[in-house]
Amino acid sequence: MRISLTVNGKQYSHDVEPRLSLAHYLREVLNLTGTHIGCDTSSCGACTITLNGDAVKSCTLLAVQADGCEIVTIEGMANGAELHPIQESFKENHGLQCGFCTPGMVMTASDILKNNPNPTEEEIRHGLEGNFCRCTGYHNIVKSIQQAAEKINQ
């Protein structure tokens, strides 16, 4: 099937197998390997992207379902060499260790802050419920999102 979509501001059009997942399309066809595949069951959140402005787990969608949509991946968050405030805050607050979950955490954080510019710690933790980190214990991830909210709201 032929699909056309916008990813990180750039238009793409490809023939794809109807059963190709959106996560695999991003990684294998577009070579945007920042979208990680951790579980293939939507449990871990490592594959989180934004689709038409909302955070979604790309392993649970088929590429054909994204036809006509606008997608942002972790590669689209930075402005050239300038990190997005969320990415800066993760770096400054040690909100990552191995980094495997980080792209999904950043994309989820973006969605949290889009919907609630000043979330409480409890609201951040609730917003992260579908994303697993096996290294950090979430404390520095939450701290990173709190700092990012401050930076964005300045």
- Comparing C-alpha atoms, which of 53, 66, 32, 45 is closest to residue 129? 45
Q: What is the pLDDT of residue 154?
A: 86
DSSP three-state, residue 50: strand
Q: What is the pLDDT of residue 13?
A: 98
Domain 2-76 is of which CATH architecture?
Roll (3.10)
Q: Is domain 85-152 in CATH 1.10.150.120, yes or no? A: yes
Contact 57, 48 (CB under 8 A): yes
User: For the segment 53-67, what is each residue's pLDDT rounded down to a tens digit?
Assistant: 999 999 999 999 999
- Comparing C-alpha atoms, which of 23, 65, 16 is closest to residue 41? 23
Domain boundaries, given as residue ranges, for the chain: 2-76, 85-152
Q: What is the mean pLDDT of each run of 10 residues along the chain (154 residues)?
A: 98 98 98 92 92 97 98 97 97 93 97 97 96 89 97 92
Q: What is the pLDDT of residue 42?
A: 81
Q: What is the pLDDT of residue 43?
A: 87
Q: What is the pLDDT of residue 135?
A: 87
Q: What is the pLDDT of residue 19?
A: 97
- Comparing C-alpha atoms, which of 122, 132, 110, 109 is closest to residue 36? 132
Task: Evaluate whether 2-76 and 85-152 have a shared fold.
Answer: no
101/132 Cα distance (integer angstroms) = 7
150/128 Cα distance (integer angstroms) = 18
Q: What is the pLDDT of residue 121?
A: 97
